């Protein structure tokens, strides 16, 4: 029986997604000897027990390897080294130091991936005496990246995405490869040459987390693949071919099945992905929590029923400066940051627009009073203020406006956090509709 080793490098919070991922992988690899290794400095009893139950169900193995907290602590000494990116992300680079001596290779994956077919075809790929095999991330085609020096592109995390990597554990072990290598590299190659500049929120970083570090420090030690065995959603050259992939990595803001609800299937062009994800999630719950049939039915019905009733609109869940949170209403959004971000309730294919006038209504309530709160209409890359209201705390309020598709091709309606002054403000969306005028 062929051996396949899978590796997670994460903190305990994010490992809540691991049971679904493990079931997904094992369902497609029932004829393999699978071991899941998890490298972390702490994994809760709940997560350990869940992964052990799943392993036993499929005659696989789960092994938690506790990493001492001193590993990669030095990252906190560098500009942006740990800001927003915890040191757990770097632990897979210690595979040669901590994995058992019989492990020669391992497939490292982030927890925002899905498996669509077996990885056996490429799991045994030739390392050509390099430490890593990785797959292309997005191409540097963004205008302000085209003139970057090649070295800065490496530090930014191009060309290989760290979300899926084949790791040559045997070579790492032989060369006693550990965190010291990276600390020495940062001091002699990066700090000594000064910070580089990345526009936006990453400005001032020496490198873009573990991905930037491996692309720079190991740039001659990575075999780069450009095929559909692994597809990173950020790579638009491959995205449309996702059904050919063995692994899809959802490193993109708007498509993240692991953060979705069953209702997000309504109107989605990726129904197959969302359906598969929630199937595996339910299977994981059956194994780990012995859920009942009524629980399973409610799991789908609670989310799907209101979304089907409002199927003309997409109810977004993957956002910046907002979190969609658990709700007794159609949806609820909590403000998490000051960065301007608009929520767009896109029209779905269920809405057959005509070149005429419609009335849109959005009923909501806010946990805080808001002055000059805008309902906006989206068309192309522009927005149009449709209505402006002063909102009273906890009082249901309705936006109502007319839009004419004969004049503009609107893609949706929504609002932003521009007029909201308090972090933590929650907007409960009670109802949303569009009707011919």
Residues 339 and 237 occupy one common structural domain: no
pLDDT of residue 205 exceeding 70, the answer is no
Of 23 and 239, the structure prediction assigns the larger pLDDT to 23
Residues 222 and 283 occupy one common structural domain: no
Residues 193 and 304 occupy one common structural domain: no
d(CA 168, CA 422): 49
Choose one of 226, 249, 272: the last residue of a domain.
249
Q: Is the residue at 317 inside a domain? A: no
Q: How many domains, in total, are found in the chain?
A: 3
Quickly state the pLDDT bin for 138 (edges 50, 70, 90): low
Nearest to 234 by CA among 214, 266, 211: 211
Q: Is the residue at 156 inside a domain? A: yes
Q: State percent of the chain over pLDDT 90.
A: 79
Distance of CA 408 to the CA centre of its chain: 33
239 DSSP assignment: H
Residues 333 and 289 occupy one common structural domain: no
Q: Is the residue at 338 inside a domain? A: yes
Contact predicate 16/119, CB 8 Å: no
What domain range is 270 assigned to? 260-309
pLDDT of residue 197: 45
d(CA 76, CA 249): 28
Q: Could you tell me which residues come within 8 angstroms of residue 77 by beta carbon, excluding any fewer than 6 positions away?
A: none
Q: Is the residue at 12 inside a domain? A: yes
pLDDT of residue 184: 94
Residues 181 and 267 occupy one common structural domain: no
pLDDT average, residue stretch 281-301: 94
pLDDT of residue 81: 66
Q: What is the pTM of this model?
A: 0.91
Q: Is the residue at 316 inside a domain? A: no
Residues 158 and 99 occupy one common structural domain: yes
The 10s digit of each residue's pLDDT in 386-409 is 999 999 999 999 999 999 999 999
pLDDT of residue 298: 93
Number of H helices, E strands in the chain: 11, 19
Q: Is the residue at 254 inside a domain? A: no
pLDDT of residue 37: 99
d(CA 269, CA 115): 18
Residues 107 and 43 occupy one common structural domain: yes
Contact predicate 205/79, CB 8 Å: yes
Residues 291 and 192 occupy one common structural domain: no
Residues 231 and 281 occupy one common structural domain: no
Contact predicate 25/114, CB 8 Å: no
Q: Could you tell me which residues come within 8 angstroms of residue 332 by beta carbon, excluding any fewer than 6 positions away?
A: 324, 325, 326, 426, 427, 428, 429
Q: Is the residue at 255 inside a domain? A: no
pLDDT of residue 152: 64
Please provide the DSSP assignment of 158-215 as one string.
-SEEEEEEEEEHHHHHHTT--HHHHHHHIIIIIGGG-----SGGGTT-SSSHHHHHHH
Of 208 and 182, the structure prediction assigns the larger pLDDT to 182
Top-ranked range on mean pLDDT: pick from 18-27, 184-193, 251-260: 18-27
Q: What are residue 433's DSSP bridge partners?
A: 361
pLDDT of residue 153: 66
Residues 117 and 237 occupy one common structural domain: yes
Sign (positive/negative) of CA torsion 165, 169, 173, 174?
A: negative
Nearest to 111 by CA among 248, 247, 17: 17
The enclosing domain of 118 has a CATH number of 3.90.550.10
Residues 337 and 418 occupy one common structural domain: yes
Residues 291 and 363 occupy one common structural domain: no
Choose one of 202, 230, 249: the last residue of a domain.
249
Contact predicate 307/350, CB 8 Å: no
């Amino acid at each position: 029986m062929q051996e396949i080793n899978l590796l997670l490098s994460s903190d305990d919070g994010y490992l809540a997604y691991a049971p679904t991922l493990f079931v997904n992988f094992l369902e497609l690899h029932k004829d393999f000897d699978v071991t899941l290794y998890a490298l972390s400095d702490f994994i809760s009893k709940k997560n350990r027990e869940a992964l052990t139950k799943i392993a036993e169900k499929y005659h696989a193995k789960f092994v938690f390897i506790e990493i001492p907290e001193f590993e990669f602590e030095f990252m906190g000494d560098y500009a942006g080294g740990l800001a927003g990116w915890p040191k757990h992300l770097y632990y897979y680079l210690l595979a040669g130091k901590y994995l058992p001596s019989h492990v020669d290779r391992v497939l490292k994956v982030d927890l925002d991936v899905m498996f669509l077919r077996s990885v056996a075809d490429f799991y045994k790929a030739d390392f050509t005496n390099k430490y890593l095999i990785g797959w292309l991330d997005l191409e540097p085609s963004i205008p302000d990246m085209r003139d970057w020096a090649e070295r800065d592109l490496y530090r930014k995390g191009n060309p290989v995405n760290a979300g899926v990597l084949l790791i040559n554990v045997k070579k790492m072990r032989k060369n006693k490869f550990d965190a010291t290598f990276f600390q020495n590299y940062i001091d002699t190659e990066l700090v000594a040459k000064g910070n580089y500049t990345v526009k936006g929120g990453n400005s001032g970083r020496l490198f873009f987390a573990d991905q930037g570090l491996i692309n720079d420090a190991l740039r001659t030690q990575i075999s780069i693949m450009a095929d559909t065995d692994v597809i990173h959603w950020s790579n638009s050259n491959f995205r449309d071919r996702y059904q050919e992939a063995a692994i899809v990595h959802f490193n993109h803001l708007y498509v993240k099945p692991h953060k979705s609800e069953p209702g997000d299937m309504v109107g989605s062009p990726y129904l197959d992905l969302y359906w598969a994800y929630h199937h595996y999630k339910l299977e994981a719950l059956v194994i780990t929590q012995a859920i009942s049939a009524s629980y399973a039915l409610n799991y789908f019905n609670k989310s799907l029923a209101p979304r089907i009733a409002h199927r003309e609109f997409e109810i977004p869940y993957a956002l910046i400066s907002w979190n969609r949170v658990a709700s007794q209403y159609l949806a609820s959004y909590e403000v998490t940051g000051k960065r301007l971000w608009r929520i767009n309730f896109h029209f779905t294919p269920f809405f057959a627009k005509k070149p005429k006038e419609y009335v849109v209504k959005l009923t909501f309530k806010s946990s805080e009073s808001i002055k000059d709160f805008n309902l906006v209409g989206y068309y192309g890359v522009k927005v149009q203020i449709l209505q402006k209201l002063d909102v009273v705390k906890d009082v249901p309020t309705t936006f109502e406006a007319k839009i004419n598709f004969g004049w503009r091709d609107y893609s949706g309606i929504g609002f932003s956090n521009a007029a909201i002054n308090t972090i933590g403000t929650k907007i409960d969306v009670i109802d949303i509709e569009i009707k011919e005028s």
